[in-house]
Amino acid sequence: MEKLYLNRKFIILGLFLFTGIIFIIRLFYIQVMAENYILSANNNVLRYITQYPARGLIYDRNGKLLVYNEAAYDMMVIPREVKAMDTSEFCRLLGITVNHFRERLTQARRYSSYKPSVFESQINRENFGALQEKMFMFHGFFVQPRTLRSYSYPAAAHMLGYIGEASPSIIAQSPYYKASDYIGISGIEKSYETELRGRKGMKIRVVDVHNRDMGSFQEGHYDTISLPGRDLWSSIDVDLQILGEELMRNKKGSIVAIEPSSGEVLCLVSSPSYDPNLLVGRIRNHNFSLLSADSINIPLFNRALMATYPPGSTFKTVNALVGLQEGVITASTRFGCPGGFALGNGHVVGCHDHAGPLDLEESIQHSCNTYYCRVFKSILEKDGFYATDKDFNIWRNHILSFGLGKRIGLDLPSELSGNIPSSAYYDKYYGKNRWRSLTVISLAIGQGEVLVTPVQLANMTTVIANRGYYIIPHVIKGVGQPDSVNRTLMEKHFCTVDPGYFDVVVDGMEKVVLAGTATNARLDSISICAKTGTAQNPHGDNHSIFIAFAPKDNPKIAISVIVENAGWGASWAAPIASLMIEQYLKGEVKRSELKERMMNGNLIKP
């Protein structure tokens, strides 16, 4: 029995000895061998500085620099390390008040007493120079290098977009972003955030008890380098963009121009606009509040992508094409116009004075409402008076194929879809089988429930210019190097109208400028094909609308112009479009008198 207890004693002693050896080995490994534990133990004297990469640059189609970076600095704070200091001097160097200092320090403590957070963001180089010499006086504070966006031109704000701090919801969704990181909020900056942002790095610095930088930790062994973002080449012609914004000064509306053969967006103007440099640096929050508060002009609203309008008489071009495709008219079909189209209930769709009867080309040239009411009625009654629902759906599918009533897929955020009403909508509103062609006759002339965005209107014009197809519009043509756009973006999207039907419509659009409703858009030596439109506005004066492409053969530019509350399409939208076409195709505008008149026109009522 004693021998048994003796054996147990040796076993227990052996277990204790074995456990002790394990602990000794583990402690030796942690204290001597394992560098990660050494790193953790030294956290109280190490400073981790994120190396933010420079965002990619943005160029225009001709290589002109649109967006670049400038050095800036964030003042960071670790609250538990803050000691008694000369607060007044610190505030003077930063250009802040003592109350502001206290508020920000309280906010930092609420975030974390141990983790660094931004105390004051986006300090410029001048202030940083004065601060750098005295940082040893301010324990717990250090400077984080950053870059700020800067814009070469006070233009294209809605297209380029702006950056801001990542929101808590974004941080929760993506592990890449931390508090105080910047992210693209709108425009190209948002759509191409992943390409532009690059990859963050990290530097670990040793600091002494006086908050002085003593150099790299472990000779930079644990540092990681940042990788800059990729540069972007846009399709925008900045000279054309600037002209467009000048012509739309003191007006509400938009200009969208597209190269038909490629889908490249040549300009994207939304007016009123703002200088993109207003949303950069420490003045950003103040300026953003001012711009947001402007409920009259709404300068932050991108009308080119988000505003919707009835297309007015510009819509007659696609109704003509659908009529040809469905065989209810031919190029030689003539209709008389007694001054309007009678609806049979005492109401008349009015029309302006013009000669008659008109064939298809002439109906476009003179924009005859009666002609298109009769065309639309014929389309919806092709299979009989009681087959309206069926024929309406055929008509609607044709219209949708022109890129209307849906998001086109432009590589910018916030694009709206517009509206091409469905038969189900009318069934719900009027009752099943209780509506006919005359019920929705306003669609014949681009009124009623049909709504389009300016970019859709320009894209519709490219379909006509290309005689039957469009390429999805895009504002970026190169990532990392010029002209490296994904070739899948160059896919042709064909409409449901046969190419052979387009020539007569194109000829009619040419006559609009030569001897029709928009002779003031005529340009010597360049054949412009166009269509005027006047969109009814229940809230005020009608909107002036104009679509055009040029030259007639092998077109280089398709454009839509909308000037809100400006009346007839020929009054403002047509001459503005003509000046834009002149600038793009000839490289300059020689009609200086017309240019000055358009630029100086003020259509925004007090």
With the CA atoms of 17, 22, 23 and 27 taken in that order, what torsion angle do they form, in degrees rounded to the nearest 10? 140
pLDDT in tens, 426-469: 999 999 889 999 999 999 999 999 999 999 999 999 999 999 99
What is the share, in percent, of the chain residues with pLDDT greater than 90?
61
Q: Which domains can be identified in the chain, with CATH numbers?
A: 49-234 (3.90.1310.10), 238-600 (3.40.710.10)
Q: Which long-range contacts (CB under 8 A, 24 or more apart) does 370-374 make?
A: 370/335, 370/336, 370/337, 370/338, 370/340, 370/341, 371/335, 371/337, 372/316, 372/319, 372/320, 372/444, 372/445, 373/341, 373/349, 373/441, 373/444, 373/445, 374/335, 374/341
pLDDT tens, position by position, 150-204: 999 999 999 999 998 888 899 989 888 888 888 999 999 999 999 999 998 888 8
Say whether pLDDT at 41 is over 50. Answer: no
Quote the CA–CA distance of 313 and 368 in Å, as a whole number.
9
Number of H helices, E strands in the chain: 21, 20
What are 464-491's pLDDT values in tens digits? 999 999 999 999 999 988 877 666 668 9
128-144 residue pLDDT tens: 877 888 888 888 888 88
Residue 377: CB atoms within 10 Å: 17
Helix, strand, or coil here: 222? coil
Mean pLDDT of the chain: 89
Choose the most confident range, by mean pLDDT, from 49-53, 277-281, 361-365. Answer: 361-365
Task: Map tokens 């001897």 to a residue.
Answer: 515
Residue 497 pLDDT > 70: yes
- pTM attached to this predicted model: 0.86
Q: What would the 3-class secondary structure string for 355-413 be?
A: CCCECHHHHHHHCCHHHHHHHHHHHHCCCCHHHHHHHHHHHHHHHHCCCCCCCCCCCCC
Can you spell out the DSSP letters for 549-592? EESSSS--EEEEEEETT--STTTTHHHHHHHHHHHHHHSS---H
Q: Is 71 in a helix, a strand, or coil? A: strand
Strands in 33-116 per DSSP E: 46-51, 58-59, 65-77
What SS3 class is residue 309?
strand
232-234/58-59 β-pairing: parallel
Q: In 10 A of CB 434, how many CB atoms?
A: 10
Rounded CA gap, 49 and 202, in Å?
6
Number of residues that this document lists for the chain: 606
AA letter at 402: F
Local structure of 354: helix, strand or coil: coil
Percent of the chain with pLDDT over 70: 92
Nearest to 396 by CA among 379, 416, 420: 420
Q: What is the pLDDT of residue 428?
A: 94
Is residue 502 within 8 A of residue 279, CB to CB? The reply is no
Q: Could you tell me which residues come within 8 angstroms of residue 380 by beta carbon, excluding any fewer than 6 positions away?
A: 388, 391, 392, 395, 436, 437, 440
Q: Give the residue-averaged pLDDT of 93-112.
A: 89
- Please provide residue 215's backbone torsions phi and psi, each rounded to the nearest 5 degrees: 115, -175
What's the DSSP call for residue 523? B
Query: Does residue 584 contact residue 257 with C-beta atoms inside 8 Å?
Result: yes
pLDDT category at 36 given cuts 50, 70, 90 is: low
Instruction: Please say if the pLDDT value at position 31 is more than 70.
Output: no
Closest-CA residue to 309 (of 458, 453, 457, 415): 453
Partners of 70 in beta bridges: 148
Lowest mean pLDDT among 69-78, 228-237, 345-354, 370-379: 345-354
Whether pLDDT at 119 is above 60 = yes
Residue 543, Cβ density class (10 Å: 0-12 exposed, 13-18 middle, ≥19 buried): buried
